[in-house]
Amino acid sequence: MTRLWNDPADFADEMIEGFVAANERYVRRVPGGVVRSTVSPDGQVAVVVGGGSGHYPAFGGLVGQGLAHGAAMGNLFASPSAQQILSVAKAADNGGGVFFTYGSYAGDVLNFDAAQDRLRDEGIACETVTVTDDISSASLDEKHKRRGIAGDLTVFRVAGAAAEAGYDLDAVTRVAALANERTRSFGVAFTGCTLPGAPEPLFTVPEGRIAIGLGIHGEPGIDETDIPTADGLAELLVSRLLDEVPDGVSVAGARVVPILNGLGSLKYEEMFVVYRRIARLLADAGIVPVDPHVGEYCTSFDMAGTSLTLFWLDEELERLWDAPVDTPAYRRGSVVAAARSTAVAVEALTAEIPASDEASRTVAAAVRDALQTVVDTIDAHVDELGRMDSIAGDGDHGIGMQRGSHAALAAGVAAQEAGAGAATVLARAGDAWADKAGGTSGALWGVILNGVAGALGDTGTPSAAEVAAGIETGVSGVTSYGKAEVGDKTMVDALVPFTTVLTEAVESGASLPHAWGKAADAATAAAADTAALLPKMGRARAHGQHSVGTADPGAHSFALIVSALAVVLERN
């Protein structure tokens, strides 16, 4: 269990504050994460990593000379928002372009891609390589869908070394992609992890059993077997990885970096016993181990588990791997200390409130009421949503929706009290939701609210047709960014029928409250129907069979919200 916290909602922020206070010679805090506190050469590519908190030393612990220039750090097990990533990237930028690399999870992809688009729009060159090392999370035919686990380290370190060596952005991207292609990982777990304040772990493993194919966010394994001996575990890990050798690699004589990673509660002594057998098995296969790593490189709070990563080297990759590194949690070789940065802390800018008229300010008051209703609805169902999400995911959907909706309400209230019109109130709420919730759902709710905001405007009273058009804009944004389709067992399964019924009812002459009520009923039915589906997107995809019989939490929360808002519309 996780034993020490103040308020679980503040855990990630307080953790980052303490981490920076303990490591000021390496890092400084900026909105959204941390960047190096030392000077980097002008024109050097800035390597920016990131992901949810709860995986130390990933991601902030890997910021420093020879490795990352910055880390965007989301809430616990939640991807950083696009705004957080953008803030870190701008603070880390040295004028040579920004290189993003992170584990491949739906929320991270969504938010990093959005930040990349915004950087490019501002004239800052940006490229990305996602880490896809976990062989248990998708088949070889769909390896682009695999998630990133402890193999993050190989890609991060190669990219950082390349940037330090003066490689340009295209060259950093090339070697990082090669490192990812030559990295394979496989893991197991004896117990799940427990989030701060939670009464029980996100998943449990029966006594005497071990979960095969773990995730790093409390996702259950894809299979179970009896707990083996230390030698038996070593044989399982090595055999699975040698069954899938990267293209163009010959096992005999290959030079490989083995990384035995602890997930949080497994003791070093236990891992050394396992590695003893791993080393023999690799030697028997004709493999030459290079710079073996045994320790904690990507954790999951108190999870008792381990993963083995094999990084298959070529001459260039080995040279980059051998380069010196000096970060708070990871040091190799001898680095000439750079001068401390004198950069001024980046502060968030507060945009001016656009002009509005009385009619729009009246609508803005109704929007404020609607946001309060959303908060009340999510607060009443937060535990239910978390339980649903823990079936095949990481269990954070409820708390993520709670963080996002509360932030949206606070931002909306502030804008409305400052005299903002309806569009500005809703847009500020959407931006705050995306920023504070993080993850996939946070980003998508930000897209939805901003889509509707564009239709409302800051003058006049919007018609039912304009509101429906705004919802359609939001749906288009969700499917464009999230890539999900109807049938993938996501929020889209409820969002699309809601929009279709709403638009058809409005076009047939129904009032907005009546049309919304019919659409909410359609969304509720569609959300319930997702219980029969297998997930094809996100973290739940790797554990799809576990989720059959349970509705998708994103679709369910959407249906809860639009049903509650139907009452608000009738009242207003």
Q: Which residues are catalytic?
A: 217
Residue of 371, 310, 268, 299 whose CA lies nearest to 135: 310
Residue 419 region, left (φ>0) first, then alpha (ψ -120 to 50), else beta?
left
Task: Give the C-alpha separation, 78 to 108, whole Å.
Answer: 8
Strand 46-53 and strand 98-103: the pairing is: parallel
DSSP secondary structure of 358-422: HHHHHHHHHHHHHHHHHHHHHHHHHHHHHHHHHTTS-S-HHHHHHHHHHHHHHHHHHHHHTT--H
Return the H-helix or E-strand segment holding 50: strand 46-53
Contact 455, 469 (CB under 8 A): yes
Buried b (16+ CB within 10 A) or exposed e, 474-513: bbebbbebbebeeebbbbbbbbbbbbebbbebbeeebebb
Return the ∠ at Cα 450 (arms to 449 and 456), rounded to 5°: 90
Residue 528 vs residues 415, 550, 565: alpha-carbon distances, Å: 36, 8, 19
Cβ neighbour number for residue 417 with a 10 Å cutoff: 11
The residue behind tokens 């020879």 is 66
* Torsion of the alpha carbons at 310, 313, 316 and 318, rounded to the nearest 10: 70
The tally of CA atoms less than 13 A away on the side-chain side of residue 197 is 12
Residue of 152, 558, 64 whose CA lies nearest to 335: 64
Q: How much of the chain is in helix, strand and coil states, percent to nearest 5?
A: 50, 15, 35
> What letter represents residue 394's amino acid?
D
| Maximum Cα interatomic distance, the chain, rounded to a whole number of Å | 79
Strand runs labelled E in 58-131: 70-76, 98-103, 126-131
Quick one: tokens of 33? 């994460």
Task: Give the C-alpha separation, 309 to 527, whole Å.
Answer: 39
Task: Give the C-alpha separation, 153 to 208, whole Å.
Answer: 31
Those residues whose C-beta lies under 8 Å from the C-beta of residue 562, and which sit 6 or more positions away, are: 498, 516, 519, 520, 523
Residue 149 vs residues 90, 188, 262, 278, 298: alpha-carbon distances, Å: 26, 12, 11, 19, 7
Helix (H, G, I), strand (E, B) or coil at 259: strand
Residue 462 vs residues 356, 362, 510, 569, 572: alpha-carbon distances, Å: 13, 11, 15, 13, 13
